[in-house]
Each structure stands twice: as C-alpha cells, then as structure tokens.
Structure 1
Amino acid sequence: MAKDNKITFYDLQHASGCTTSPFVWATKYAIAHKGFELDIVDGGFTGIMDRTGGRSERLPAIQDDGEWVLDSWLIAEYLDEKYPDRPTLIGDPSIKPLAQFLETWLWKTVVGPWARAFAVEYRDRCKPEDIQYITESRLRMWGKPMEELVVGREDVFPKVLPELELLRGILREHKWLGGESPNYADYRALAVFLWAASVADTPPMTEDEPLRDWIERGFDLFGGLGRHPGMSPLFGLKMREGDPEPFAKGPSLVAGLVKRNTGPASTRAETDHITGKGEKTPA
C-alpha cells in the first residue's frame, strides 16, 4: 500500500514548474483518479537518470512504497492491478486499444502541427539547463531550427480546428469519453490540451470552441489539477476572412447517422437528403 496515501511522482517541468509532457500529464491524472496524493519530484529534461537512480532516462516514472514503475501505460495498468478496490482507470481491456487509437489520431491531428507552431515558446519556457538539449534534440527530430518551424504558424491554427470534429461529435453525445465519469481515455486525450496550455503563447482555439466545456471540466478535476499558474489560455483565436469554419455549426455526421435510428420518422430527413427525395424539380 502506498505509504501515507502518497505515490512518488517524477515530473517533467518547465521553468515555471508546469508539467510539459502529455504522457506525464496523463499519469498525474491517473494517480489522482485512484485517490492518491502526488509526492512530486521536480525536474526538467536534464538529470532524469540522476533523479531516478539510473532507472530511466524518460518520464513519467513513479515509486510506490519502494516499487518503481516506468511508462505511462504501464503505470496506469499497475495502479489498476495493485489497487482494484479504488476507482478503475481501464475498466475493460478494450479501452486500451481504443484509447491508443484516439491518442494516435490526436497526435497526428493536433500535437504535430501545434508542436511546431509553439516550438520557440516550448524551448523558451524550459528550465535554463534544458535549453541546449531541447534545441539540439528538436532540430534532429524536425530537421529545422525552431525559428523556421514557426514561420507561417498563423495559417496552422485554423487548419487544425476542423479536424477535431470527430472528438466534438463524440463529446456532444457523452459527458466524458468514459461515459458519465472520466476514465483513462479522457486523461490521455485531455493530456494533449494540458500540454498545449503549457506551451501556448497564443490561443490555438476559438472562444466558442465546442470542446471547451469538456476541456474546462477536465482541467478542473481533482481540485483543479490542470490549473497550474504556468498554463496559458487555450481559447481566444480570432478567425480571419478566408479561414475554414473551425467547427460544424449544427449536428455533425459522426459515426453514421446524425440521429439514432428509432424508426423511419427519425431517419426520413437524412434519407430524403441522400436520395434526393423532396428536392424541387427545376422549372
């Protein structure tokens, strides 16, 4: 059992102390979901091996009453296995591949474009001792200096938003990805937006973003775990003339029919639309 209801958590932080990794954010939420307090070991990108006693060069990592667990997914599975009497993170084995699919889609849709758009700010918010590592490692990852990556980023933000319609469609019908209460799928997806708020020097989403309710509620969980003072606003992007619509203004077609099929009357409007019935014949 975790001593004093605390689990030692090795954080990855900016200079402000704000967590700066989606994987680490998801693990913070997983620990809180299980009802444990976080005994945080502060630190940035350099010195991880020293902080973990040579056990890992990547984070997150936890130490639970002397037992070490590495990797965000392994930590979530460990917490469920070790503490089955506490709220479940992954209630069914099928949740893991579905959450991984959703996360992979979010990384391609959101994290990739936003990471480049916020590259300079990401570097500048780091701890001073991390700046050289971030500069050199990201140059190898992306093939360009950060100052070049952010050129034209004002065109990036409007293009990302329409791609989020899949997630909007799901969360229009459900309070959480986990249904009536959040589960680990919510934390993996929320972690993308928690990370974005840790690096955004300009809002990447509009004020009226439909995902805002879910994001705000997610940030407020566990006593405002996602409300670190080092975070920046996500909402406030001003759309320009010619930019694509950021989101569907009415019901969006997600997973087949917009409305559930309860008989012909419930589907007639859509059927008429796709078959051409009801269209006026040109005079």
Structure 2
Amino acid sequence: MAKNNTITFYDLQLASGCTISPFVWATKYALKHKGFDLDIVPGGFTGIMERTGGKTERLPAIQDDGEWVLDSWLIAEYLDEKYPDRPTLIGDPSVKVLTQAMEAWLWKTAISPWMTCYIKSYRDRSLPQDHEYVTESRERMFGNTMENIIVGREDRLPLVPPQLELMRTTLRNNKWFGGDSPNYADYRLLAVFLFLASVADTPALTEDDPLRDWIDRGFDLYGGLGRHEGMSPIFGLKLREGDPEPFIKDPAKMGGGLASRNTGPQSTQEETAHLRGTKK
C-alpha cells in the first residue's frame, strides 16, 4: 500500500520542468484521479536507466512502496486492481478497447502532423543534455533535418482542426468522455493536448474551438495539474484566406447519423427532404 498516500512518479520533463510525454501525462492524471500524492523524480530523455536503478529505459514508471510498475496502461490497471476503493479509472474492459481505438485515431489525426510542425521546438525546449539524443532520434525517425521538417507548417496547421470533429460531436452531448465525470479515456485523450501545450511555439487551434471547454476543464483538474508555467497557449490559430473551416459552426446542418436521434417520422423529415433534394 502507498506509504503516506504517496507514490513515486518518474517524470519525463523539458527544461522548464513541464512534462512532455503524453503517456507520462496520462499516468500523472491517473494517480491524481486515485487521490495520491506524487513524489516526483525529475529528469529528461537521457539518464532514465540511472534514475530508475536499471528498471527501465522508458517512462512512465511508478514505485508504490517498493513495487515497480511500468507502462501507462499497466499502471492504470494496477491502480484499479490495487486500490478498488478509490475512484475507478477504467471500469469495464470495453473502456480500454474503445479508448485505445480513439487514441490511435487521435495520434494519427493530430500528433503525427503536429510533430512535423513542432519538432524543432520539441528539441529546443528539452533539457540541454537531451538535445543531441532528441535531434538524432527524431531526424532518423522522419528522415530529414528538423529545420526541413517544419517547412510549410503554416499550411499544415490549419488542416488538423477540421479532422477533430469526432471529438466535438461526442462532447456536444457529454461533459466528459467518461460521461458525467472524467475517467482514463479523458486522460489519454487530454494527454495529446497537454503534449501540444508543452511544445507549441505557435497556436494550433482557433480561439473559438468548441473543444476548448473540455480542454480547459481538463487542464484545470486536480488544482490545475495541466497549467504548468512552461506550457504554451494552444488556442489562437489565425486562419488565412483559403484555409478550411476549423469546425462545423452549425451542428444542426450536419444531417442525420450520429448527430441526431430518431424520435419518429417528424424528427427525420428535414433529413429526408435534404436527401431527396426537396429541402427549401
């Protein structure tokens, strides 16, 4: 059992002390969700083996009164199993499956293009001793120099917000992805935007993005856990002529499917008229 309600948490940080990894962010939120205090072991990309006494080369990792747990999903499952009397993170196994599907979609849709826009900032904000590692590993990953990877990002950034409509549609009818209160699904998805705020040297979302309500509430959880001074504003993207609309401004015009519910013939008359081309 956690001694003095405290669990040792191995952080992955930038030079500002801000957490960088989405997986580490999700774990930090999971521990707070369970009501634990954190004994944070700071550090960056290099020296992880030394900090963890040879237990792991990757983070997150926690130590609970001498018991080591590695991997963000395993940590969440461990916390639920070890501390069932505290607020549940995952609950039904289906939550994990659906969250992993949603997370994979969000990584492909947002993190991948954002990395090509912020990879230089990602390196420049890391600890000085991490610069060489981050540069070599990420340039090898992308097959180009960081300076070349970010070229044209002003054209790529406006393409991401319109792809996030799936999240907006869900949050129009739900306070959290966990329903009335956040669960581990919220933390896994919020972690993507926490990562964004840790590296964004220019905003990625417009000021009026409907996702802002959920993101702001998520960043404010647990005493402002996502409000580290080293993080940057992610809202304020300025669109240029020809850029796509960042989100659907009038959900009522989306048509049927997930956006509406069948309550009888009258509820679908407008959609039917639209499909038949008779809508005035």
TM interval, short-chain normalised: over 0.9
C-alpha displacement of 1:254 = 8.8
Task: Report if aligned partners of 1:10, 1:60 keep a CA contact under 8 Å in 2.
Answer: yes
C-alpha displacement of 1:105 = 0.5
Structure 1: give runs of 5+ residues left out of the alignment: none
Distance in 1 (alpha carbons) for counterparts of 2:93 and 2:107 = 22
Give deviations 1:133-153, integer Å, cap 9, x for gaps.
Answer: 000000111111110010000
C-alpha displacement of 1:276 = 2.6
What amino acid does structure 1 have at the position aligned with 2:13? Q
Structure 2: give runs of 5+ residues left out of the alignment: none
1:57–1:254: structure 2 CA closer, same or farther, 3 Å change rule?
farther
Task: Report if aligned partners of 2:256, 2:271 keep a CA contact under 8 Å in 1.
Answer: no
1:255–1:107: structure 2 CA closer, same or farther, 3 Å change rule?
farther
Task: Report if aligned partners of 2:255, 2:271 keep a CA contact under 8 Å in 1.
Answer: no
1:253–1:69: structure 2 CA closer, same or farther, 3 Å change rule?
farther
C-alpha displacement of 1:278 = 4.2
TM-score using structure 1 length: 0.96
What amino acid does structure 2 have at the position aligned with 1:112? S
Determine the structure 1 residue equivalent to 2:202. Answer: 202
Q: Counterparts of 1:105-116 in structure 2 under 5 Å? A: 105-116=105-116
Task: Report if aligned partners of 1:170, 1:254 keep a CA contact under 8 Å in 2.
Answer: no
Q: Counterparts of 1:154-193 in structure 2 under 5 Å? A: 154-193=154-193
Task: Report if aligned partners of 1:169, 1:254 keep a CA contact under 8 Å in 2.
Answer: no
Determine the structure 2 residue equivalent to 1:259. Answer: 260
Structure 2 residue 136 is matched with structure 1 residue 140: no
Distance in 2 (alpha carbons) for counterparts of 1:142 and 1:253 = 37
Distance in 1 (alpha carbons) for counterparts of 2:180 and 2:278 = 39
Determine the structure 2 residue equivalent to 1:272. Answer: 273
Distance in 2 (alpha carbons) for counterparts of 1:16 and 1:157 = 25
1:196–1:255: structure 2 CA closer, same or farther, 3 Å change rule?
farther
Give deviations 1:39-87, integer Å, cap 9, x for gaps.
Answer: 1000000000001111100000000010000000000000000000000
What amino acid does structure 1 have at the position aligned with 2:21? S
Give deviations 1:247-281, integer Å, cap 9, x for gaps.
Answer: 001116498142211111111111211123445xx
What amino acid does structure 1 have at the position aligned with 2:99? A
Distance in 2 (alpha carbons) for counterparts of 1:261 and 1:91 = 30
Give deviations 1:165-203, integer Å, cap 9, x for gaps.
Answer: 111111111100000000000000000000000000000
Determine the structure 2 residue equivalent to 1:59. Answer: 59
1:245–1:136: structure 2 CA closer, same or farther, 3 Å change rule?
same
Distance in 2 (alpha carbons) for counterparts of 1:274 and 1:82 = 53
Determine the structure 2 residue equivalent to 1:33. Answer: 33
What amino acid does structure 2 have at the position aligned with 1:23? F
Q: Percent of aligned pairs with the same residue?
A: 71
What amino acid does structure 1 have at the position aligned with 2:59? L
Distance in 2 (alpha carbons) for counterparts of 1:191 and 1:257 = 25
Give deviations 1:195-225, integer Å, cap 9, x for gaps.
Answer: 0000000001100011000000000000100
Distance in 2 (alpha carbons) for counterparts of 1:278 and 1:240 = 32
Task: Report if aligned partners of 2:7, 2:36 keep a CA contact under 8 Å in 1.
Answer: yes
Task: Report if aligned partners of 2:205, 2:237 keep a CA contact under 8 Å in 1.
Answer: yes
SS in 2 for 1:69: strand
SS in 2 for 1:118: helix
Task: Report if aligned partners of 1:8, 1:62 keep a CA contact under 8 Å in 2.
Answer: yes
